[in-house]
Structure 1
Amino acid sequence: MTNAPMIELRDTTKKYDDGPPALAGVTLSVAAGECVAILGHSGSGKSTLLNLIAGLDKPSSGTVTVDGTRVDQLGEADSARYRRASIGMVFQFFNLLDDLTVLDNVMVPAQLAGMGKREAQRRAVDLLGSLDIDRHAKTYPQRLSGGQRQRVAVARALMNDPALLLADEPTGALDSSSAEDVRELLLELNSDGQTILLVTHDVQLAASTAGRTIELVDGSVARDVVNPAGGATVNSSAGAVR
């Protein structure tokens, strides 16, 4: 683990109009190998924070640095390359392509990044095996359960070996059994060293999955606490809000 944070925001503000800012002077950092939950109600700034880190939006002021890259300074083309190379994203509603098989869905990010088909297929098969979903490689997503589709989505997110996994309400559309399955999967990934930013409104999911919880209220950090019983990696100092 390096000394430099995986994610670092400094005095980061995002305004969309003349109203209150969606993010208001947020300063925080996340160390490599941490699993950190971003908690907050609708309108708290969670989605804005996620979009800034993913390079999908630009701050009005302040800086956003991820894995040594000043994301706030990237142009459109460089932002797309940054997401392909450094970011894996998992969404509440999976965002799988129904006209592609599970295997083909997982291969998409690698092919967009220019990986050869044979190499991409080999990596996709390995990922599906490691996530215990390989038996469904030739199945179409609509024939899978919600939990199985989320495992496919995680495999797709990991396809380009991203430095950072962003999970946006990953259990929000799942029943309790499937949600627990995904929670355990996130714990396993974190224990293997994957840095994870988990965005959720579920207090229990945050406490049991992440080593640290950052709560946003009206665009500001209201709380930043270590979860002693949560996460595979707990780092109380490297990621503290400064």
Structure 2
Amino acid sequence: MIDLRDTTKRYGDGPPALAGVTLSVAAGECVAILGHSGSGKSTLLNLIAGLDKPSGGTVTVDGTRVDQLGEAGSAKYRRASIGMIFQFFNLLDDLTVLDNVMVPAQLAGMGKGEAKRRAVELLGSLGIDRHVKAYPQRLSGGERQRVAVARALMNKPALLLADEPTGALDSGSAEDVRELLLDLNSEGQTILLVTHDVQLAASTARRTIELVDGAVERDVVNTVNVGAGAPLNGPAGAVR
């Protein structure tokens, strides 16, 4: 699904933000990218999302050479192949929950009726369909993140990028989002989780890749521990 080969990114004359990174993520994997501030996590995410170009090496996602795309091609690639979840939700406060979720589909040219059906289905699967007419500022942090997840899944992306998805949440909401990510992955969704939280990485992802000064320091397989026999209680099943 993701294949980076000797990928480097430099800004100016300083040390590289990414220094010859080679890594791969298979379809259906949940992989955590771990590292402190300045380690290269955001740069890596931006290259995979087609928001930036590498200075050297290649970036291939779902068979597409992302590093070779122009501006229009990059935008089309993100609409078709990438779903993104952010730390601070990035919802539009002047749109209802339903309208927020529908935005990616409408940008991709989906008809309004089909987009509405898809959005309601997703919101129902995530247990927040009762909030379709509400505005984001009326919801809790955990509820807003569920809306953001529904929006990210709207176009059935091949890859879900989660950038510090629990960073702005209280512990209870963070646990809900962690279980949601596990549930989505169990349904086959490929997820790249970017975080500085060691516990979140170890308990959510099957692999952890640690970046230090723009280079891969380690790449290890995790043993996911969700508690002693505790089921992953997503509100229904994840919808793809």
Q: Equivalent residue for 1:98?
A: 93
Equivalent-residue separation in structure 1 for 2:129 and 2:197 (angstroms): 30
Q: Equivalent residue for 1:223?
A: 218
Alpha-carbon RMSD across the aligned residues, in angstroms, is 0.7
Q: From 8, 12, 15, give the equivalent of 1:13.
A: 8
Q: Secondary structure at the match of 1:29?
A: strand
Q: From 105, 108, 124, give the equivalent of 1:110.
A: 105
Give, as a single letter, the amino acid of the residue that structure 1 aligns with 2:98.
L
Q: Secondary structure at the match of 1:186?
A: helix
Alignment of structure 1 residues 205-224 onto 2, 5 Å: 205-224=200-219
Q: Equivalent residue for 1:121?
A: 116
Give the 3 Å change call, closer, same or farther, for CA 230–51 of structure 1 in structure 2: farther
Give, as a single letter, the amino acid of the residue that structure 2 aligns with 1:103.
L
Q: Equivalent residue for 1:136?
A: 131
Equivalent-residue separation in structure 1 for 2:20 and 2:37 (angstroms): 19
8 Å contact kept, 2:98–2:132: yes
Shift of 1:230: 5.4
Q: Secondary structure at the match of 1:181?
A: helix
Give the 3 Å change call, closer, same or farther, for CA 219–230 of structure 1 in structure 2: farther
Equivalent-residue separation in structure 2 for 1:176 and 1:94 (angstroms): 17
8 Å contact kept, 1:39–1:200: yes
Shift of 1:183: 0.2
Q: Secondary structure at the match of 1:139?
A: coil
TM-score normalised according to structure 2 size: 0.93
Q: Equivalent residue for 2:147?
A: 152
Give the 3 Å change call, closer, same or farther, for CA 230–197 of structure 1 in structure 2: farther
The answer to whether residue 62 in structure 2 is matched with residue 58 in structure 1 is no
Gaps of 5+ in 2: 227-240
Q: From 167, 170, 173, give the equivalent of 2:162.
A: 167
Equivalent-residue separation in structure 2 for 1:120 and 1:201 (angstroms): 35
Q: Secondary structure at the match of 1:215?
A: strand
Deviations 1:157-208 (A, max 9, x none): 0000000000000000000000000000000000000000000000000000
Shift of 1:228: 1.7
TM-score normalised according to structure 1 size: 0.93
Equivalent-residue separation in structure 2 for 1:151 and 1:179 (angstroms): 11
Moved over 4 A (4+): none
Equivalent-residue separation in structure 2 for 1:34 and 1:227 (angstroms): 12
8 Å contact kept, 1:212–1:230: no
Give the 3 Å change call, closer, same or farther, for CA 140–131 of structure 1 in structure 2: same
8 Å contact kept, 2:2–2:60: yes
Size of the aligned set, in residue pairs, is: 226
8 Å contact kept, 2:28–2:185: yes
